[in-house]
């Protein structure tokens, strides 16, 4: 037991719970009924890219993340060789 644990005992956990819930629920309400949003975005974005560039579907990473009030969609596509299909 350090002296810090004595002080940390006085820290309230309920406000943390409240804040976490508010953030989470704001996000869940916004995305309710769109639980497969990441999958849909992946399909549609890849379809657009595939029209112009040959891509290996195994080398695609899609990540939907949120931090505070910002949600980010990260799409990581590895292009071995940029070969335009049509020119």
Partner 1 sequence: MSKVLVVTSGKGGVGKTTSSAALGAALAQAGKNVVVVDFDVGLRNLDLIMGAERRVVFDLVNVVQGDAKLAQALIRDKRVETLSLLPASQTRDKDALTPEGVERVIGELREKFDWIVCDSPAGIERGATLAMRHADMAVVVTNPEVSSVRDSDRIIGLLDSKTARAEAGETMEKHLLLTRYDAARAARGEMLKVEDVLEILAIPLLGIIPDSEDVLKASNVGCPVTLHNPGSGPARAYAEAARRLLGETVAVTMPTEKKGFMSRLFGRTVA
- Judged by the rule CB under 8 A, the positions of this chain that interact with partner 1 are 12-15, 17-18, 20-22, 24-25, 28-29, 32-33
Nearer to partner 1 (CB atom), residue 18 or residue 61: 18
What does the alpha-carbon distance between residue 8 and residue 38 come to, in Å, rounded to a whole number? 39
CB of 78 to partner 1, least distance (A): 36
* Residue for token pair 């049509």: 86
Which lies closer to partner 1 via its Cβ, residue 12 or residue 87?
12
CB of 30 to partner 1, least distance (A): 12
Residue closer to partner 1 by CB (options 29, 57) is: 29
d(CA 80, CA 54) in angstroms, rounded, equals: 9
DSSP 19-45: HHHHHHHHHHHHTTT-TTHHHHHHHHH
């Amino acid at each position: 037991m350090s002296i810090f644990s004595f002080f940390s005992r006085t820290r309230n956990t309920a406000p943390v719970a409240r804040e976490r819930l508010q953030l989470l629920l704001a996000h869940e309400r916004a995305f309710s009924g769109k639980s497969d949003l990441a999958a849909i975005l992946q399909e549609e974005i890849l379809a657009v890219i595939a029209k112009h560039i040959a891509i290996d579907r195994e080398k695609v990473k899609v990540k939907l993340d949120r931090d505070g009030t910002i949600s980010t969609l990260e799409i990581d596509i590895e292009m071995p060789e940029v070969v335009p299909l049509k020119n």
